[in-house]
Structure 1
Amino acid sequence: MTKIKLRPLRDQVMVITGASSGIGLSTARLAAKEGARLVLAARSEGPLRQLTAQIVDAGGQAVPVTADVSREEDVERIAQAALDTYGSLDTWVNNAGVGMYGKLEDLKVEDMRRLFDVNFWGLVYGSRVALRHLKARGGALINVGSVVSEQAIPLQGIYAASKHAVKAFTDTLRMELEHEDAPVSVTLIKPGPIDTPFPLNAQNYLDTEPQHVPPVYAPETVARAILQAAAAPTRELFVGGGGRGMAAFGMLAPGAAERAMAATVIPGTHSGKPPLPPGASALYHPSGKLAERGDYPGHVQATSAYTEAASRSRLIGVGLLGAGLAAALWRASRRD
């Protein structure tokens, strides 16, 4: 079996989709500091050009590509921009995604289809296009899933379904590439709640503005995990011990986990603030803003001890500690 060797970040050409907001924006800024040459893709042309100018002014290298990943031809243009600008491609980060809040019975079918077009099919297009180049040269394909790739969550059911599909696609692709001995590392990144504009940009069917349920982490925690996977072959990585604990709790005690999720997540997702006006979401139109952070009012954890430990040691057993924490949080919530 071929040992996969990834180039140092300073020698890489990296594509990042969804680069104008949240996790993608944080990853782009951090990768630029590490010296990677970047191809930045997003629907928001103005913010994307603003980000590119910031990176170039700081001495980095970046090229913007205005693209909607739900269109296969747009994804082809992203890859071509990498080849035209830098002549090669080393890492492709499928990060673009959209969210949706509401009970499954209330969601419009066309909205659900649109979410899958972006979250699932956009990732499929990106993966297939990237592999045409990565299989010949070697490199990393990094797909951003979610903790809800493992554990469904109420009021975000269709989003969780799309991320379950992302996990199945990514895991199957990895197995097929390993079988043919392709020199490509395939990673699934699984963040927990992250303080990005995700809730503000999501299609919202609730009667209040949605919010994250803690623990909530800074987008830089995910960016560091992505760059770790770009530099060293990594199968998968949870970002946030809380999310890892939730997934482990769901595997070990699914009935109790579902009851806990319903009791805490459903009320916790409602912020009490009036919802944004219809049409404010980024489901069909770009947000038009360059923003890493959201408006989460509570404590945002700047680091994740679990993720840092897992990045260094690949220890799966650490998740059992998270499962105990999740159970303790559930018991505490029942007392409150």
Structure 2
Amino acid sequence: MPMRLKPLSRQTILITGASSGIGLATARMAAARGAAVMLVARDEPDLRQIAEEIRETGGRAEYHVADVADAAALEAAADKAEESFGSLDSWVNDAGVSTFGAIEDTPIEDQRRLFETNYWGVVNGSLIAARRLRARCGAIINLGSVLSDRAMIYQGTYSATKHAVKGFTDAFRMELEAAGAPISVTLIKPSSIDTPYVDHAKLETPLPGLKLPPPTYDPRLVARAILFACTNPRRDLYIGAGGAAISLAGALFPRLTDYAMEAVGKPVQTSRQPNRPGLRDNLHEGRPGGHERSNLRGQPHRKSSLLLEAQLHPLATMATLAGAGALALGALAGRRNGRARAARRHWF
């Protein structure tokens, strides 16, 4: 039988990394659509403020302070979600940290910390969620990246964590399916998203500032994909054709992609313009959040993704493309017929 996930308005969704960026955008959107949300992050003041904001607008929200590397703290967050709202239906593993610089310049303790959050945080959350969802049906949504498919120069350790997330998610999905567990497992693969990712990154190599490789996309597009996966079982969802193209290029032409990244990887990720003064990385401890988007001045981002729409609505997309193709063929045939009639008039 096909898996039937609850409508969003009847769900309780636990979201890690909920104090900023994609997690914050997802929490706000989920609450606006009627879901109860449990906000999890390390920054207590921002979590409290976000929960109050959601309640003031008529939504349902609670929060729990936890480092996702601490499995016991995540268990407590799950307990609180069930006590507060009576159920737990979807679990979103979004918490993440980042560094920028050559791997040789990145201390081992920083590399370990990236894995503690980005990889072990996903493992901890997924295992806790699976134990609680087996008896009722639900969804686990893990945030990977296009860098789960293709490593990015100067983001080597971050890319390694996202490769690990992909490997874990794919294997765990198969194991749950083989066991007949009524749990949907989705891997979300965003491209460059205009979040505080670069504001919170630790610079391992001295640079004036960072920027996101273009094109960049609005974090609410990722939130849409996440909430879609809460109610519709999907294996993978990409956000942004730019990143998906890099994944495809890396799979088809790996050495050419290496050379291209070696040539442009640093310029497209660094800026001569300093980032906002006073920003500090959140690698080893939580920092104030509260923002969905980055503090980069003049950072453009796209508010739509045709690739995402095609994945969310494949039949409508196919019908639209077929209609557009039919119109194009009709127009081409009309022009050819017009030229043929003109030629006959000229000949005769």
TM-score normalized by the length of structure 2: 0.88
Residue segments in structure 1 that go unaligned for 5+ positions in a row: 318-336
Distance (whole Å) between structure 2 residues aligned to residue 229 and residue 189 of structure 1: 9
Shift of 1:202: 0.9
Residue segments in structure 2 that go unaligned for 5+ positions in a row: 319-348
Q: Rate the CA distance shift 1:197–1:243 in 2: closer, same or farther, 3 A.
A: same
Distance (whole Å) between structure 2 residues aligned to residue 37 and residue 216 of structure 1: 29
Map 1:175-186 onto structure 2 (within 5 A). 175-186=174-185
Shift of 1:264: 1.7
Q: Provide the secondary structure at the position in 2 that maps to 1:188.
A: strand
Q: Provide the secondary structure at the position in 2 that maps to 1:40.
A: strand
Q: Report whether the alignment pairs 1:286 with 2:306.
A: no
Q: Provide the secondary structure at the position in 1 that maps to 2:265.
A: helix
Note if contact 1:195-1:295 (Cα within 8 Å) is conserved in structure 2: no
Which residue number corresponds to residue 97 of structure 1? 96
Q: Report whether the alignment pairs 1:173 with 2:172.
A: yes
Which residue number corresponds to residue 251 of structure 1? 251
Shift of 1:277: 8.1
Distance (whole Å) between structure 2 residues aligned to residue 264 and residue 32 of structure 1: 40
Q: Provide the secondary structure at the position in 2 that maps to 1:7.
A: coil
Note if contact 2:17-2:95 (Cα within 8 Å) is conserved in structure 1: yes
Distance (whole Å) between structure 2 residues aligned to residue 252 and residue 314 of structure 1: 27
Q: Rate the CA distance shift 1:314–1:201 in 2: closer, same or farther, 3 A.
A: farther
Which residue number corresponds to residue 58 of structure 1? 57
Note if contact 1:39-1:64 (Cα within 8 Å) is conserved in structure 2: yes
Q: Rate the CA distance shift 1:126–1:8 in 2: closer, same or farther, 3 A.
A: same
Note if contact 2:275-2:295 (Cα within 8 Å) is conserved in structure 1: no
Q: Which deviations, in whole Å up to 9, do the C-alpha atoms of 1:251-274 show, x marking residues without a partner?
A: 111111111122222121111134
Note if contact 1:41-1:78 (Cα within 8 Å) is conserved in structure 2: yes
Distance (whole Å) between structure 2 residues aligned to residue 289 and residue 14 of structure 1: 20
Note if contact 1:154-1:265 (Cα within 8 Å) is conserved in structure 2: yes
Q: Rate the CA distance shift 1:21–1:168 in 2: closer, same or farther, 3 A.
A: same
Note if contact 1:3-1:183 (Cα within 8 Å) is conserved in structure 2: no
Q: Which deviations, in whole Å up to 9, do the C-alpha atoms of 1:258-304 show, x marking residues without a partner?
A: 11122222121111134788991000121212110103434210111
Which residue number corresponds to residue 159 of structure 2? 160
- Radius of gyration: which is bigger? 2
Q: Give the AA of the match of 1:247.
A: S
Q: Provide the secondary structure at the position in 1 that maps to 2:267.
A: helix
Which residue number corresponds to residue 30 of structure 1? 29
Note if contact 1:201-1:280 (Cα within 8 Å) is conserved in structure 2: yes
User: Identity of counterpart residues, as a percentage?
Assistant: 45
TM-score normalized by the length of structure 1: 0.91
Q: Provide the secondary structure at the position in 1 that maps to 2:266.
A: helix
Which residue number corresponds to residue 228 of structure 2? 228
Note if contact 2:199-2:275 (Cα within 8 Å) is conserved in structure 1: no
Q: Give the AA of the match of 1:268.
A: V
Distance (whole Å) between structure 2 residues aligned to residue 275 and residue 57 of structure 1: 33
Shift of 1:211: 1.1
Note if contact 1:17-1:94 (Cα within 8 Å) is conserved in structure 2: yes
Note if contact 2:190-2:238 (Cα within 8 Å) is conserved in structure 1: yes
Shift of 1:313: 1.7
Which residue number corresponds to residue 46 of structure 2? 47
Q: Give the AA of the match of 2:17.
A: G
Which residue number corresponds to residue 134 of structure 2? 135
Distance (whole Å) between structure 2 residues aligned to residue 301 and residue 294 of structure 1: 14
Shift of 1:139: 0.5
Shift of 1:310: 1.3
Note if contact 1:207-1:275 (Cα within 8 Å) is conserved in structure 2: no
Q: Provide the secondary structure at the position in 2 that maps to 1:237.
A: strand
Shift of 1:178: 0.9
Shift of 1:314: 8.7
Distance (whole Å) between structure 2 residues aligned to residue 275 and residue 106 of structure 1: 21
Distance (whole Å) between structure 2 residues aligned to residue 73 and residue 41 of structure 1: 13
Q: Give the AA of the match of 2:306.
A: A
